[in-house]
């Protein structure tokens, strides 16, 4: 599948990294949490992953008490952009604190720290956008999902390897309940959106922008919090993928 197609998307989904202490990806997955609000103390949390050609990891965003990503709320509703905090945990590196603003009217996010800058827009439970890194240049995309509870979102990061001569790359995805959202990126920088489902311990993933037969299938191992499987883009590119909570 020229991993640029669905193959990339599925794999990327399965590799999303994990974030904050409240969403500890190193803890075994025990299923989606109940409803209600994300971070502690009444704050709202979004958890996700960021992926590029050679860089990726887990991402978190915490909105102030009274601020909802979907609409204006509370005492902040007439104040425009409000300050927000977050963190980015590049795979294999230390966690980077982030700070910035979120505008509940335009749904726009601007977040930065440690040489990384993230900009995106929220829509229907998901915040998507782009990121860049300086001075060592790198770029990619990210996805954040609104957490139903403080520990309901679990992130996974990993790699996919072509066994048919195609490109290999990295993937990151998050799981909340039975829903999977993520990103995959080939070594040449082609990024693909991933969406899928978790049924029991079974994972199925597609590229929502090019739906068709499953791009990837696999298993979530709850005993050691790892994920693995195979992918096939139905166009000659196929291989394996594997990752772990991050």
Predicted confidence band at 193 (pLDDT cuts at 50, 70, 90)? very high
CATH topology of domain 38-146: Porin (2.40.160)
For the entire predicted model, the pTM comes to 0.80
Which of the residue ranges 24-28, 143-147, 242-246 would you say has the lowest mean pLDDT?
24-28
Q: Is the model more confident about 95 or about 8?
A: 95
Q: Is the model more confident about 186 or about 10?
A: 186
**What local confidence, expressed as pLDDT, does residue 6 receive?**
38
Q: Where are the domains of the chain?
A: 6-14+151-245, 38-146
**What local confidence, expressed as pLDDT, does residue 41 receive?**
60
Which of the residue ranges 110-114, 178-182, 188-192 would you say has the lowest mean pLDDT?
188-192
At 38-89, the pLDDT tens digits run 555 678 999 999 999 988 999 999 999 888 887 654 454 446 799 999 999 9
At 115-138, the pLDDT tens digits run 999 999 999 889 999 999 999 999
Q: How far apart are CA 223 and CA 163, in angstroms?
A: 28
Q: Do domains 6-14+151-245 and 38-146 have the same CATH topology?
A: yes
**What local confidence, expressed as pLDDT, does residue 216 receive?**
95
Pick the CATH number of 6-14+151-245 from 3.30.420.10, 3.60.20.10, 2.40.160.90, 1.10.10.10: 2.40.160.90
**What local confidence, expressed as pLDDT, does residue 180 receive?**
97
Q: How far apart are CA 104 and CA 69, in angstroms?
A: 6
Q: How far apart are CA 166 and CA 1, in angstroms?
A: 7
**What local confidence, expressed as pLDDT, does residue 67 receive?**
85
């Amino acid at each position: 599948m020229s991993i640029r197609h669905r193959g990339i998307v599925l794999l990327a989904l399965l590799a999303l990294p994990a974030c904050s202490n409240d969403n500890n990806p190193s803890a075994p997955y025990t299923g989606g949490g109940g409803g209600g609000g994300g971070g502690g103390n009444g704050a709202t949390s979004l958890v996700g992953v960021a992926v590029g050609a050679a860089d990726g990891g887990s991402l978190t965003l915490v909105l102030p008490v009274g601020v909802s990503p979907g609409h204006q709320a509370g005492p902040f509703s007439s104040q425009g952009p409000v300050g927000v905090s977050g963190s980015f945990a590049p795979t294999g590196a230390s966690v980077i604190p982030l700070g910035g603003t979120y505008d509940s009217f335009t749904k726009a996010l601007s977040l930065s720290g440690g040489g990384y800058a993230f900009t995106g827009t929220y829509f229907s439970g998901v915040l998507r956008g782009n990121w860049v890194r300086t001075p060592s240049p790198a770029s990619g995309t990210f996805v954040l999902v609104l957490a139903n509870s403080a520990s309901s979102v679990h992130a996974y990061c990993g790699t996919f390897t072509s066994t048919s001569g195609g490109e290999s790359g990295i993937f990151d995805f998050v799981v909340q309940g039975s829903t999977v959202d993520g990103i995959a990126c080939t070594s040449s920088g082609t990024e693909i959106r991933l969406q899928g489902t978790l049924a029991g311990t079974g994972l199925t993933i597609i590229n929502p922008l090019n739906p068709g037969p499953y791009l990837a299938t696999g298993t979530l191992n709850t005993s050691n919090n790892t994920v693995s499987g195979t992918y096939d883009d139905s166009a000659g590119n196929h291989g394996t993928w594997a990752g772990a909570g991050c």
